[in-house]
Structure 1
Amino acid sequence: MPATKDEFDELLSFELHEPADILDPDLLYTIPELARLLQGLPVDAELSDFNESVFIDWAIPWMIYNQDDLVFAEPNDEDVVGLYGLADE
């Protein structure tokens, strides 16, 4: 159900990070790891399944928006879907 803005004490603006501001140029990350970094968390932070799902929901559009700055690698581990990192300049 929609909520009116006056129900909240504070409304925050979106702060989308540039890939180079949060990713190490020498590393590749899974989507859950990227999602944590976008929230200012360490890549190995423990999250509930619900929070991880919400963070991933935010990460995927960010990845699409920043696709020109990112690269993709097929992982060696069958349990990992993909690895993503900064494109070389």
Structure 2
Amino acid sequence: MPRPKSEFEELFPCDFYTPEELLDADQMYTVYEIARLLQGLDADAEIDEGVEDILLDWAIPWIMRNSDEMVVAEPPSDEEPGYYGLRDDGDD
């Protein structure tokens, strides 16, 4: 149910990183690592599985929204996730 803005102590801008601000140009990341980075955590930070599920709710749409600026690579095996990185001039 909606709540009045006045019920909240503080409101923040809804700003998100651009891919260039978030990702290193020479690295590839899993969606799980991107989810952590979007929250200001280290890519390999240990987090609770429930927290990780919530972070993925933010990361997946972010990846889709920024897909024109990114590339994707096949996972090393069927048990591992794919990898995402910044697109550069040499990428198809």
Q: What TM-score do you get using the length of structure 1 for normalisation?
A: 0.91
Distance 2:22 2:87 in 1: 13
- Matches for 1:46-61 after TM superposition, within 5 Å: 46-61=46-61
Percent identical pairs in the alignment equals 47
Q: Secondary structure at the match of 1:11?
A: coil
Determine if the alignment matches structure 1 residue 67 to structure 2 residue 67.
Answer: yes
Determine if the alignment matches structure 1 residue 12 to structure 2 residue 12.
Answer: yes
Poorly superposed stretches of 4+, deviation over 2 Å: 1-4
Letter in 2 for 1:76: P
The CA RMSD over aligned residues, in Å, is 1.2
Distance 2:85 2:74 in 1: 12
Letter in 2 for 1:86: L
> Where does the alignment leave 5 or more consecutive residues of structure 2 unmatched?
none
Aligned to 1:21: 21
Distance 1:54 1:3 in 2: 21
Letter in 2 for 1:41: L
Displacement, 1:42? 0.3
Aligned to 1:42: 42
Q: Secondary structure at the match of 1:81?
A: coil
Q: Secondary structure at the match of 2:64?
A: helix
Q: Secondary structure at the match of 1:85?
A: strand
Displacement, 1:81? 2.5
> Where does the alignment leave 5 or more consecutive residues of structure 1 unmatched?
none
Displacement, 1:7? 1.5
